[in-house]
Amino acid sequence: MGNNTRRSTIDKISKSYPELNTNWLLTGEGGMLLDSIDSVPQKSFTNGVPYYNVDFIGGFDIVLNDQTAKPEYLIDFKKYNEATCWCNVTGHSMEPEITHGDIIALKKIEDKSFLPLGEVYAIVTTNGMRTIKRLGPSSDPKCYTLVPTNKSPEYGIQELPKDMIEHIFQVLGCMKRL
């Protein structure tokens, strides 16, 4: 196969698969995909966002209030490196969007005066309830609605008074445990 034929074939492949690293295809060097090291989550002990091996629903206050809580490792995932932390998900109310056993990237929201509706949030209430839901409007201006993704009858929409939100985190994304 001549160089022109090889180059033509590489160009056709590259047009069909723009994420493919053509240098890898030609030489075998580097990652198969462009920016593959940035687009794949990596465990790290030097870079990234802390991962706490605790269930959000079952004990996230430990992470917030106990200074002795240490992350197991860091998750270096360029897409979510602006997160505050990663933690586990328990429960099925957000399936199939967020699945029981996933880990979620959370970004703490300090200013609760304006929260865009329709987004998924992890919420800790003043009475210790911990939940992950989509925030919706309420007919009562002092409340939000908590909207599950799962449409099974046991997961209904609930009202939550705004003044019961102690901590709130935007859920930036989720993935299977590393």
- Three-state SS for 83? coil
> What mean pLDDT, rounded, does the chain reach?
83
With 70 as the cut, is the pLDDT of residue 65 above it? no
Q: Is the peptide bond before 71 cis (omega within 30 degrees of 0)?
A: no
Partners of 121 in the β-ladder: 133, 170
Inter-residue contact 73 to 44 (CB < 8 Å):
yes
Choose between 93 and 16: higher pLDDT: 93
With 70 as the cut, is the pLDDT of residue 60 above it? no
Q: What is the pLDDT of residues 124-169, one digit of tens each?
A: 899 888 889 999 999 999 999 999 999 998 889 999 999 999 999 9
Give 4's Cβ-side CA count (13 Å radius). 0
Lowest mean pLDDT across 1-5, 10-14, 58-62, 145-149? 58-62
- Residue where the block lists tokens 């206050």: 61
Inter-residue contact 51 to 71 (CB < 8 Å):
yes
With 70 as the cut, is the pLDDT of residue 78 above it? yes
Instruction: Give the global pTM.
Output: 0.72
Q: Looking at residue 86, what is its pLDDT?
A: 93
Distance in angstroms (rounded) separating the CA atoms of residues 146 and 156: 9
Tokens representing 23? 């240098």
Contacts of 155 (CB under 8 A, 6+ apart): 92, 93, 148
Distance in angstroms (rounded) separating the CA atoms of residues 140 and 103: 33
- Three-state SS for 42? strand
Q: Looking at residue 66, what is its pLDDT?
A: 47
Inter-residue contact 21 to 14 (CB < 8 Å):
no
